[in-house]
């Protein structure tokens, strides 16, 4: 198989051509868009999201339950279930694809209650998460598992903002451009996986 | 007796880790390409398009294919006429892994103990090492970085002889169906049958090292592999779990004799980022396969 030059690989012009832009976070005017998104729709995410996976979720929920201050104001924000590879010199970040969202199901309803408006990951969500999403208004985006190299190229800026001691599980603030995703579960509770099967 | 230095082992393991993590094997790429060409569901076709673009980009720009650079599995086939000089084989392998993950900017995904501290070891060690002593004076090393998305959906079940092939079929289908989108389909499904519990699990993992397109040498097992591929693709889970024709790229079954009262079966799932790299060392000369 011949390799094309990577400069020709633009997801906006290839597999995700024609997809709708969705601007993050879901604060101010952007929030309205959240309610118009429908399961199965292809989108290109633009703007800010935060990474968090198992260990960071455990700490966030612990802080919320104990009434302690959380390091990131979750209101209107979107969490990307991911832990990156370290950035090589001269790059923004290393490989950064989604991890399995289901492991965060036990924490997600608590964060949605606290104002989280979006999640990005891969795989099925529990009914408890979907109920919380419908009740408080939130959306779950699915992106392509195992495409960490390509997705890392959609990150224009990355910095650790909390839990640095967790290494790859620290919370990173990301700025993304043309980040390909599919609406997995919309704010009405429609679920692309349950429709697919 | 042929001597191989521990340093050669270390350097080979380092090189193989980085290669495996950045370059998808040719047979896996071809299988994904074929799946994309044959896919009629437009969204699934686009997902396969992204997966293939990702592999090209990773190889070109030396970026890990997937951020989950895995727990490192190292399979060693050690010729019995080899003596390892200047160090202990397993230390050399661990050092190779540590160098690759630290110097290669790979994600460190190993914690020191599973239950209590869960503190990251910082260099992705220890690896899991499986050694087989074989005839000859060569050593073959295969590195497989194994991610947890697919590993978490894998399973072992102690069937009994009365369950027969029908029981095995039901169990394999149940594991794949339950994994849905979580294991990052299209999958390679490794099935180990026989031995006792641990042997079945080991065979299932080893089955993942086989090239896509290969069949079990026993024609009855090979026919069962084919039958399971059709049945699994009939589930319609599809690429990324969003529906479509290709839920698995291959089913590889490995068997071993078992006890008169036993029929252990293990199903080890492998995501589409089916990473592996091998090399053969013969008296300090290395050949990357």
Ordered per-residue pLDDT tens for chain B, 289 residues: 889 999 999 999 999 999 999 999 999 999 999 999 999 999 999 999 999 999 999 999 999 999 999 999 999 999 999 999 999 999 999 999 999 999 999 999 999 999 999 999 999 999 999 999 999 999 999 999 999 999 999 999 999 999 999 999 999 999 999 999 999 999 999 999 999 999 999 999 999 999 999 999 999 999 999 999 999 999 999 999 999 999 999 999 999 999 999 999 999 999 999 999 999 998 767 777 7
| Statement to judge: residues B143 and B173 lie in one domain | no
Q: Which A residues in the span 19-48 are in contact with B, Cβ-Cβ below 8 Å?
A: 40, 42
Integer angstrom CA distances of residue B259 from B167, B196, B199: 17, 8, 12
Q: Are residues B81 and B214 in the same domain?
A: no
Which residues of B are less than 8 Å from A44 in CB distance? none
Q: Do B106 and A148 touch (CB under 8 A)?
A: no
**Same domain for B205 and B73?**
no
Name the token pair of B21: 């993590």
Q: What is the pLDDT of residue B245?
A: 96
pLDDT of residue A1 exceeding 60, the answer is no
- Please determine, for residue A7, whether its predicted confidence score (pLDDT) is greater than 70: no
User: Beta A171-185 vs A42-51: how paired, if at all?
Assistant: antiparallel
Note whether B182 contacts A: Cβ–Cβ < 8 A: yes
Structural domain contains residue B49: no
- We report the CATH number of the domain holding residue B142 as 3.30.360
Both tokens of residue B83?
């003596």
Q: Is B10 in the same domain as B128?
A: yes
Q: Is residue B28 part of a domain?
A: no
| Closest by Cβ to A168, choosing from B63, B107, B237 | B107
* A97 and chain B in contact, CB less than 8 A: yes
Residues 4..33 of B with a Cβ closer than 8 Å to A: which?
Answer: 26, 29-30, 33
Residue in B47, B56, B61 nearest the CB of A144: B47
Same-domain pairing of B215 and B231: yes
- Give pLDDT, residue A6: 54
Is there a single domain that holds both residue B14 and residue B109?
yes
Q: Measure the CA–CA gap between B253 and B275, rounded to whole angstroms.
A: 19
* Residue tagged active-site, from A39, A52, A57, A141: A57
Instruction: Assess if residue B19 is contained within a domain.
Output: yes
Nearest to B67 among A42, A95, A124 (CB): A95
| A62 noted as active-site residue | no
Indicate the domain borders of chain A: 2-196
* pLDDT higher than threshold 70 for residue A3: no
B8 with B122, same domain: the answer is: yes
Same domain as B70, residue B138 = yes
For chain A, give the percent of residues with pLDDT over 90: 91
Topology (CATH) of A2-196 = fumarase (3.20.130)
Q: Residue A195 corresponds to which tokens in the numbers above?
A: 């429709």
Indicate whether B126 and B163 sit together in one domain. Answer: no
Residue A140 has pLDDT above 80, yes or no: yes
pLDDT band at A195 (very low <50, low <70, confident <90, very high): confident
Q: Inform me whether the pLDDT recorded for A197 exceeds 60.
A: no
**Structural domain contains residue B251:** yes
**Interface residue A11 vs chain B (CB under 8 A):** yes
Give pLDDT, residue A13.
Answer: 86
pLDDT at residue A5 is higher than 60: no
C-beta atoms surrounding B20 within 10 Å: 26
8 Å CB contact between B286 and B8: yes
| Complex-level ipTM beyond the 0.85 threshold | yes
- Rounded-to-integer distance, Cα A68 and Cα A63, Å: 5
Residue B34 falls within a domain, yes or no? no
Looking at the structure, do residues B70 and B203 belong to the same domain, yes or no? Answer: no
Q: Are A19 and A132 in contact (CB under 8 A)?
A: no
Residue B54 lies in a domain: no
Q: Which two tokens stand for residue A6?
A: 């990577």
Domains in chain B, number:
2
B49 touching chain A per CB within 8 A: yes
Domain carrying residue B259: 149-270
């Amino acid at each position: 198989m011949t390799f094309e030059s990577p400069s020709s690989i633009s997801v906006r012009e290839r597999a995700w051509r024609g997809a709708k832009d969705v601007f993050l976070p879901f604060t101010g005017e952007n929030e309205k868009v959240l309610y118009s998104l429908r399961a199965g729709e292809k989108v290109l995410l633009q703007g800010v999201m935060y990474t968090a996976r198992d260990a960071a979720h455990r700490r966030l929920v612990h802080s919320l339950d104990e009434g302690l201050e959380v390091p990131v104001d979750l209101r209107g924000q979107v969490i990307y279930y991911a832990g990156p590879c370290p950035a090589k010199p001269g790059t923004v970040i290393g490989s950064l694809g989604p991890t399995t969202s289901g492991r965060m199901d036990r924490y997600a309803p608590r964060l949605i209650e606290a104002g989280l408006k979006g999640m990005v990951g891969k795989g099925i969500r529990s009914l408890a998460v979907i109920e919380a999403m419908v009740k408080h208004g939130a959306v779950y985006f699915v992106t392509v598992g195992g495409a960490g190299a390509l997705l890392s190229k959609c990150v224009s800026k990355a910095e650790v903002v909390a839990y640095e001691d967790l290494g790859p599980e620290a919370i990173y603030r990301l700025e993304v451009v043309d980040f390909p995703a599919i609406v997995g579960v919309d704010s009405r509770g429609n679920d692309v996986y349950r429709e697919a099967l | 007796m042929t001597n191989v230095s521990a340093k050669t082992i270390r350097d080979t393991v380092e090189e193989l880790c980085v290669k495996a993590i950045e370059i998808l094997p040719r047979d896996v790429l071809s299988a994904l390409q074929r799946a994309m060409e044959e896919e009629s569901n437009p969204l699934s076709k686009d997902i396969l398009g992204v997966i293939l673009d990702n592999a090209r980009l990773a190889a070109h720009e030396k970026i890990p294919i997937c951020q989950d650079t895995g727990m490192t599995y190292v399979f060693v086939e050690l010729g019995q006429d080899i003596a390892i000089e200047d160090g202990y084989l397993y230390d050399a392998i661990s050092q190779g892994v540590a160098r690759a993950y630290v110097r290669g900017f790979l994600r460190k995904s190993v914690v020191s103990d599973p239950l209590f501290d869960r503190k990251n070891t910082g260099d992705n060690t220890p690896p899991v090492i499986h050694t087989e002593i074989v005839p000859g004076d060569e050593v073959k090393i295969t590195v497989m970085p194994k991610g947890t998305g697919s590993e978490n959906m894998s399973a072992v079940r102690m069937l009994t002889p009365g369950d027969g092939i029908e029981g095995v079929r039901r169990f394999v289908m149940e594991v794949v169906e339950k994994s849905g989108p979580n294991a990052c389909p299209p999958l390679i499904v490794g099935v180990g049958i026989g031995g006792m519990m641990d042997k079945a699990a080991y065979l299932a993992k080893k089955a993942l090292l086989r090239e896509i397109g290969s069949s079990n040498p026993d024609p009855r097992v090979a026919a069962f592999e084919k039958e399971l591929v059709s049945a699994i693709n009939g589930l319609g889970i599809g690429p990324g779990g969003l529906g479509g024709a290709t839920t698995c790229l291959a089913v590889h079954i490995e068997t071993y004799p078992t006890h008169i009262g036993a029929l252990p079966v293990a199903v080890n799932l492998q995501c589409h980022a089916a990473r592996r790299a091998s090399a053969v060392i013969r008296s300090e000369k290395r050949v990357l396969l």
